[in-house]
Amino acid sequence: MLRASIAALIAVSANAAAQQIEAGEWRFDTTMTSAAMPKPQVSSFTRCVKQEEAVDPNQWMGKQDIDCKLTPGKKTADSATWEMSCPKSGMKGKGSAHYARGTLESEMQMSGEMQGRKFDMTIKTSGKRLGPCKS
């Protein structure tokens, strides 16, 4: 479920910034914190985003196998908000993203229940364009 949450957040953030992301090599870093976890969970990946993919993040993020419904909120030239509800996994949350052509910062607060225990978590993601694609 934690991996699905990270994937969903990155996909939502990328979709929110679809018209602002510049093609090239990108690095995404994610930190997930929760009182239910002994320490923050950190992950990162680097990805070449081609020009045709920059306008449609679904092409490079891949299809997510999660049951979440995303509800867009306010969108401006450099930011977006949204709410997310995942009935099967019992999670819900809200988030925001701020972006420019070469950067992306997002934060999402989620809550739910896992194995009969309630939890809250915060997921922060930053993305940065590193330059032209290496390949």
Give me the residue spans of the domains in the chain.
2-131
Determine the average pLDDT of the residues in 11-23.
60
Structure tokens at 112: 């739910």
**120: helix, strand or coil:** strand
Alpha helices in 17-118 (DSSP H): 51-54, 58-61
Q: Which of 78, 73, 70 is nearest to 18 (CA)?
A: 78
The pLDDT score that the predictor gives to residue 67 is: 73
E-assigned strands of the chain? 24-33, 41-49, 69-75, 79-86, 91-99, 103-114, 117-131
The pLDDT score that the predictor gives to residue 1 is: 47
Give the whole-number percent of the chain exceeding pLDDT 90: 20
Determine the average pLDDT of the residues in 66-74.
79
**Which residues lie closer than 8 Å to 62 by C-beta, 6 or more apart?**
none
Structure tokens at 29: 């870093």
**pLDDT of 93 over the 80 cut:** yes
**pLDDT of 120 over the 90 cut:** yes
Give the whole-number percent of the chain exceeding pLDDT 70: 76
**pLDDT of 16 over the 70 cut:** no
Distance CA 3, CA 86 (A): 14
Determine the average pLDDT of the residues in 49-62.
65
